[in-house]
Amino acid sequence: MVPDILANCGGVIVSYFEWVQDIQPYLWSEQEVNARLKDLMTGAFNQVREFADEHPVTLREAAYMLAVDKMAQVTKLRGIFP
């Protein structure tokens, strides 16, 4: 079973790929889009699984914990909140 937040992000990632191709002169084949998506999704799932294995949490909880942590790091780097 894949956590819902992870499963649903595939469509968002492909939308991002479409946006990138639209604003820059890129044209990726369907195979290239699928390969890039597979790499990102596999990496994300492996991170979630490793986190869940290291901590006593479910895959869903691990996915949310990693997402919140990443957002906190990015927010801090961007200096949005002092």
**pLDDT tens-digit map of 63-81:** 999 999 999 999 888 887 7
**pLDDT band per the 50, 70, 90 thresholds, residue 7:** confident
Cα–Cα separations (whole angstroms), residue 50 to 10, 21, 46, 53: 20, 32, 6, 5
The pTM assigned to this predicted structure is 0.81
Q: What φ, ψ does residue 37 adopt, rounded to 5°?
A: -65, -45
Tokens linked to 33:
């889009």
- Percent above pLDDT 70 for the chain: 98
